[in-house]
A and B are shown apart, each in its own frame.
Chain A
Amino acid sequence: MLLLGRDLRHGVRLFWKSPGVTLVALLALALGMGAATAIFSVADAVLLKPLGFREPERLLVVWEKNPAQNKFRMFAAAGNFLEWRSQSRVLESIGAFQDVHVNLSGGPNGSIDPEELAAQRVSAGLFPLLGVQPLVGRGFSPEEEESGRANFALLSYSLWQRRFAGNRSIAGQTIRLRGQSYTVVGVLPPGVQILDRAADVWIPLDLDSNDARTLRSRFLTVIGRLRPGATLRQAQAELDTIGGRLELADPALNRGWRPNLIPMREELTGSVHQPLLILMGAVSFLLLIACVNVANLLLARGAARGKELAVRAALGARRSRIVFQLLAESLALAAAGGILGLALAWGGVGLLTRLGAAAIPRLAGARLDWRVFLFALAVSALTGMLFGLAPALQLSAANPQAALMESGRGSTAARSSRLLRNGLVVSEIALALLVLIGAGLLMRSFVRLRAVDPGFQPANLLTLRLPLSPNVPIDRRVAFLDRLSGRLAALPGVRSIGAVNNLPLTGLGVGATFAVDGRPAPPPEQRPIGLVRGVTPDYFRTMAIPLVSGRFFAESDTAQAPSRIIVNQTLARRFWPRANPIGGCLVLDPSGRIAEIVGVVGDVKPERLDGDDWPTIYSPYPQTNFNIMVMVVRTAVPPEALASSVERAVHQSDPDQPVADMRSMDAVVDRAVSTARFHTLVLAVFAQIAFLLAATGIYGVVAYDVSQRTPEIGIRISLGAQPGDVLRLILGQCARLAALGIALGLAAALALTRLMESMLFGVKPTDTRTFAVVSLLLGAVALAAGYLPSRRAMALQPAAALRHE
């Protein structure tokens, strides 16, 4: 211990003597380890942390798929869910839920401030299936699932605390949801989320087994639990068999449809699995670069201590003692870097969580925990051994007599030591190029994504969701919207107002099958699906969605007027490829209503900027029955400036009307690209760190090389070398290292970037421009990093250089 303490003290003194080298080494280690720890903490939370349910490995999500229609993750029809639940033997239990929004307008003590709540309609057995026990009260009973007997509610822990003061006697009390009385049966524990979707309240599924229309609608997310010992394959086979029976029983609903079983973990993290692996790979490269950087710095420092170690050997130190001393010094540096890195990781996890919570499922729960701390310590120790061992072994094996007499023989740098350092810097450049190319591809992809025309003008648009009561007739809802529009139009700064049931870039929303009137109608299971939208007359103008042909809706398109629709260009091109669809008609399922096409508008991205365009059918709002509408307000000023005036106008129109999700359209677009932005940002930060580390590494190696070659440079000048010859000598070596590193990096990039294909939009993984620009940039930086020491070499006085040792 005494010896260790002495070695550590000596090491700290040596590091203090060369603060520049020490600082660079510490920063390199801290950045490498901090970034690695942060990303692995995130990966742990997202990919590895238990799902928070009982035996989550047995949980599945059951979608419906129709490969012929290229649909693989459709909500399940309610009737099919009931049949699976009654017929399956491989799944020990099956539950279902639907995301909805409900208005909270009353509490146990009467009216309260209205609030729109995120809610889920759930089957009675869903929470027992998941293993979730209420904190207060009880769960739903099977009878409470039946239509007409379903006015019960389970509260979330946060809602219970926030609106009901955590009152433990809430169970049995009445609240008002959707304009009706609901009895609270219990409160769930904190943090209950199904498939990462937060809810404030749960109400029973309320399925009417006699309501064919509801049973034939696909709107349920189904969760199943495998019987112990059963496999996914067995469950898939069984449900396929059941699906075959259901197809025979109801071909109109089920022809071509089968269940699609996905393990719950894969459902949650499947879309981010690959990108997270890419980020983990990139941060591992970053850590390698940091280690190589530090290795080179310490190799150089170690080489300069050759005489000291030779003297120690001459004074009797055994080889093992010298190895121990050098290892102790290296481990001390690694430990210090590890502690700094841990601090960086702490901040990094917080930053990643804030940046990516909207983009990455389960990220909000990411924390630095003790396992990650141990990982960081292990990385520090391994790094210490890696870069402590090589110079330790190299130096301790040196012939002390030769080292002591070094000034007599050979005045220029040792060959093998130079080869090792050059090899390290080549590998550093190759790794940095790899990370830089990855970041470059993502950045180009993100720029392309942001350049995609969403089909409307998002700037200066304020949006707000108005959950109208479904019990109110459509004509009163129309009147409310008209009244509200009138108030909004009078506000200074408001240019136009519209409304729609589903904003672009927020999801596919409601869809229905249709057929073209006057043409042979395909069987129902083969009919195309179109997105269904209910809009007010000024919606298109407000959103700046262009009119391609025909007309927009007018005030005369009332509920009593003939059925009229506007279609988008995708629908028009597909079904009227060489004709104008104006005047044509569509037959809309399930009602069979025939509607005349009066206009064609431009396509609008329904879900993602890089997603497909869907056939879309717009109806005048009075001719629909949507109760949740989104107002869009085009403003002459930044939309946020009008937020409070708009909200006030809503409450003046109806004091009980909640306003939800008020945000600018720019924020909606931002949210739509948040995943791509997160990945791009993180990899860009890694690339900058890799860039900096590579430049520092090159500078360090070249500077050290110049100092070691000072006598040689003196000899060359004494033999007639001009400053230009010296520059060419040093920069030439730098250029050769850079060229080799870049060549290796390019080869690795060509092999590895194809793993990023799913993350890219509009850019090939082997995009030539990206490869070329990054290579040139890194080459230029390498030369620049080598130039400074070269200048010093050029200015050497030969006499002084020849005396240098």
Chain B
Amino acid sequence: MITLRNVEKFYEGGYGRTYVLRRINIDVKEGEFVTIMGPSGAGKSTLLSILGMLDGAWTGEFEFFGHAVHRMKPKDRIELNKKYIGFVFQSYHLIDNLTVYENLDIPLSYRNVKSSERAAMVCDTLDRFHIVGKRDLFPSQLSGGQQQLVAVARAVIANPKLILADEPTGNLHSSQGKEIMELFKRLNDDGATIVQVTHSEANAAYGHRIVQLADGWVVS
């Protein structure tokens, strides 16, 4: 599903290049649950952003579902993102001035789904995640765990083939975090490929394998 060959990212500074990622070579098969781990500053979130087509400033080769992403224009990469990927952020990144319902509706509106279909899909998702009662609330009216739940719901509402999760339980306490990880496990069991970034060994245990990063290199 995903192949990275010699992917690198750097910033040009006053004293030369500062590398964030060095010669990354990774393969991710469809249906896998991969965990990326490493100390702070290892480049985990940057790698995830590249996988999610959110960061276009890198070098190397990136194949995704047979598409050569490294040769695609930014507009086409966004289309690829829309078709296959759902992203869960550490800071939830819900839109404050939209209700829960509207936050779930946003990704569907960008995928040209008809409004009647969108309504059905949003309602299904609200039901699936047991947050029907929260549909008219704003993010500021939810707890951290509830916000992350909505963020996960938003990430999966368009049935993505790949779910990328950046420290999904970083701002939650342990019981909330466990709930979220159980949810990811179920999604993976249902066929979604998941790549997560985490510091937590407990969270890593939910995955099939771990990719270790240190100072921008894949060390194992």
Contacts and interface: CB of A to CB of B under 8 A. Distances in A.
Interface of A: 407-415, 418, 711-712, 714-723, 725, 797-800, 802
A797 B140 contact: no
Contact of B96 (A410, A718, A802): A410
Nearest to A408: B171
Contact of A718 (B52, B56, B57, B91): B52
A693 to B, nearest CB: 28
Contacts of B78: 717, 720-722
A719 B79 CA distance: 10
Interface residues of B, number: 28
23 contacts: A408-B144, A409-B140, A409-B144, A410-B96, A411-B93, A415-B96, A418-B97, A712-B96, A715-B95, A716-B110, A718-B93, A719-B87, A720-B81, A720-B82, A721-B78, A722-B110, A723-B75, A725-B110, A797-B54, A798-B54, A798-B55, A799-B54, A800-B55
Interface of B: 46, 49, 52, 54-57, 75, 78, 81-82, 87, 89, 91, 93-97, 106-107, 110-111, 139-140, 144, 154, 171
A408 B139 CA distance: 12
Contacts of A720: 78, 81-82, 107, 110-111
A723 B74 CA distance: 10
Nearest to B110: A720
A797 B55 contact: yes
Given A408-B171, A723-B75, A799-B54, 4 more contacts: A412-B96, A716-B95, A797-B54, A798-B55
Closest CB pairs A-B (n = 6): A720-B110, A720-B82, A799-B55, A412-B96, A799-B49, A798-B54
Contacts of B96: 410-415, 712
Nearest to A412: B96
Contacts of B55: 797-800
Nearest to B111: A720
A714 B56 CA distance: 13
Nearest to A801: B54
Nearest to B171: A408
Given A408-B91, A719-B154, A797 B106 contact: no
Contacts of B57: 797
Nearest to B48: A799
Nearest to A805: B91
Nearest to B97: A415
A716 to B, nearest CB: 7
Contacts of B93: 411, 711, 714-715, 718, 802
A737 to B, nearest CB: 15
B90 to A, nearest CB: 10
A799 B9 CA distance: 13
A425 B168 CA distance: 39
Nearest to A724: B75
B95 A412 contact: yes
Nearest to B138: A415
A721 B52 CA distance: 14
A715 B96 CA distance: 11
Nearest to A800: B55
Given A408-B171, A411-B96, A716-B106, A722 B75 contact: yes
Contact of B97 (A412, A717, A719, A725): A412
A53 B90 CA distance: 82
A719 to B, nearest CB: 4
Contacts of B94: 715
Given A409-B140, A411-B91, A725-B110, A718 B81 contact: yes
Give the one of A718, A725, A800 with max B CB within 10 A. Answer: A718
B127 to A, nearest CB: 21
B122 to A, nearest CB: 14
Nearest to B91: A411
A411 B93 CA distance: 6
Nearest to B143: A409
A722 B78 CA distance: 7
Contacts of B46: 799
Contacts of A415: 96-97
Contacts of A411: 91, 93, 96
Give the one of A418, A721, A725 with max B CB within 10 A. Answer: A721
Contacts of A714: 54, 93
Contacts of B154: 719
Given A415-B97, A802-B54, A718 B87 contact: yes
A799 to B, nearest CB: 4
